[in-house]
Structure 1
Amino acid sequence: MVRMELPLDHLRTLSAAVDTGTLDRAATKLGITPSAVSQRIRAIEQRVGRIVLLRGKPIRTTDAGAPLLRLARQLELLEQDAVTALGDDSTVPRISLAVNSDSLLTWFMPVLERVTEQNSVTFEL
Structure 2
Amino acid sequence: MLNYLALEALEAVIRLGSFEKAAEALNVTASAVSQRVIKLEKHVSSLLIVRGTPCRPTDEGALLIQHLEKVRFMERELVKHAPELSRLIHAGK
Q: TM-score range by the shorter chain?
A: 0.7 to 0.9
Q: Which residue of 1 aligns with 2:78?
A: 82
Asked if 2 retains the 8 angstrom alpha-carbon contact of 1:54 and 1:62, the reply is yes
Structure 2 residue 65 is the aligned partner of structure 1 residue 60: no
Alignment partner of 1:64: what SS? helix
Q: Mark the runs of 5 or more structure 1 residues left unpaired by the alignment.
A: 89-125
Structure 2 residue 8 is the aligned partner of structure 1 residue 12: yes
**% of aligned pairs identical?**
33
Q: State the alpha-carbon separation in 1 of the partners of residues 79 and 23 from structure 2.
A: 24
List per-residue Cα deviations over 1:8-52 (Å, max 9, x = no partner). 111111111111111111111111110010000001110011100
CA RMSD of aligned residues (A): 1.6
Which amino acid in the other structure matches residue 81 of structure 1?
Answer: E
Pick the structure with greater CA Rg: 1
Q: Mark the runs of 5 or more structure 2 residues left unpaired by the alignment.
A: 85-93
Q: Which residue of 1 aligns with 2:68?
A: 72
Aligned residues: 84
Which structure has more RCO (C-alpha within 8 Å, separation ≥ 6)? 2
Q: State the alpha-carbon separation in 1 of the partners of residues 79 and 20 from structure 2.
A: 28
Q: Which residue of 2 aligns with 1:49?
A: 45
Q: Please identify which structure carries the higher helix content.
A: 2
Which amino acid in the other structure matches residue 57 of structure 2?
Answer: T
Q: State the alpha-carbon separation in 2 of the partners of residues 16 and 82 from structure 1.
A: 24
Runs of 4+ in structure 1 deviating by more than 6 angstroms, as ranges, are none
The offset of 1:69, in angstroms, is 1.2
List per-residue Cα deviations over 1:72-105 (Å, max 9, x = no partner). 11122222323333449xxxxxxxxxxxxxxxxx
Which amino acid in the other structure matches residue 19 of structure 1?
Answer: R
Q: State the alpha-carbon separation in 2 of the partners of residues 28 and 70 from structure 1.
A: 22
